[in-house]
Structures are given as structure tokens and as C-alpha cells.
Amino acid sequence: MNCYQVLGIEKTATDQEIKKTYHKLAIKWHPDKNLNNTEKAGKKFKEIQNAYDKISTPEKRQQYDNPPRNNHIVFNFNNIHMNLFNQMQNMHSQINIQRINHMRGRGSAKKIIKTIQIINGVRIEKIIIID
């Protein structure tokens, strides 16, 4: 149900009118004031609280009155691409390290130089093996 309808006010009501109406309704429907029908009063009281919470401040009211026009999830494909790229680089680095360790174990590599550069957000790894 519409927040304005729950509170029984017009959409053009002022912040002061909204607050005043909320307080009147909250007192009227508070379960402690309705001992004969606490269940119904409790539900109505929660409904009033939820409605007021959504339009209680100018910022919340603006957001409620003007919801986003499209409810689509926006994906940043650049981040997805970079994450996949970084994962592939990490896998490649691990493979190279395994190769280097294998070569070290055979005693054929005397010196290994590894350089990492980041150019325009792209990570470049160079591994130089000197026999």
C-alpha cells in the first residue's frame, strides 16, 4: 500500500503535516492503547511506522517519490575483464614459478631475474633465466 494512503495524507503534505499525522496515528493504533484488539492494532501500528519511516525525512521522501526508472543491475564489465585477466596472469605466474623451480632442481639455471611492470593498468611480468 502507498505510504501516503497508510498515513491518510496527500502527497503534497508538508513534512510537519506528515510528522503530526504520524504521531496521531501512532498513538491511536499503539497496541497498549488497544487492549481489546492488540493483534490488529499491532499490525496497523507496524504499517504506520513503516510508511512513516519511508517518508520521514526530505531525503527519504525524495527517494520514495522518485524511484530509479530502471531496476536493472549495472555490471561493470571492465572490472570483470580485469579480474579474469588478473586470475589468468596469476595462473601463468604460478606455472612459470613451477618451471623455474623444476629447472633449479636440475641445476641448469644459475640466475633468475623476474621483473614486474604495470603500464596503463596492465601488469607485465618478465622472467629471465641465465644459464
Architecture of domain 3-65: Orthogonal Bundle (1.10)
pTM greater than 0.75 (yes/no): no
Spatial separation of the C-alpha atoms in residues 27 and 42, rounded to whole Å: 12
Question: Averaged over 27-35, what is the pLDDT?
Answer: 92
6's grid cell: 497508510
74-125 pLDDT tens trace: 555 555 555 665 666 555 555 555 555 555 555 555 666 777 777 777 777 7
Q: Is 45 exposed, middle or buried (0-12, 13-18, 19+ CB in 10 A)?
A: buried
Please name the amino acid found at residue 83: N
* The predicted structure's pLDDT at residue 72: 54
Spatial separation of the C-alpha atoms in residues 115 and 128, rounded to whole Å: 8
Kindly list the domain boundaries of the chain, sorted by start residue: 3-65, 77-130
How many CB atoms within 10 Å of residue 52?
A: 20
CA dihedral 32, 35, 39, 40 (to 10 degrees): -90
